[in-house]
Amino acid sequence: MVELRDAGFDAFLVGSLLMDSSDPGAGLRKLLQSDASENREEELHRSLRR
């Protein structure tokens, strides 16, 4: 999702991922955690480039 955000996207369709999951809540948490983790990693890389 970080790559898509960098390309200018600000919305993502993830319905089928969650609908097919046996535990949609856990799937959403995992998705949000990985996105937040990638965002923190990208922010760190950006700050190091300055």
CA 50 to CA 28: how far, in whole Å? 33
- Tracing tokens 């950006």 back to the chain, one arrives at 46
How far from each other are the two terminal CA atoms of the chain, in whole angstroms? 23
CA 1 to CA 38: how far, in whole Å? 8
Note down the domain range covering 27: 2-49
pLDDT tens digit at each of 50 positions of the chain: 777 878 988 887 878 878 888 998 888 888 778 766 666 666 666 667 76
Structure tokens at 4: 């898509």
The count of residues in the chain is: 50
Number of domains in the chain: 1
- Whole-model pTM: value is 0.49
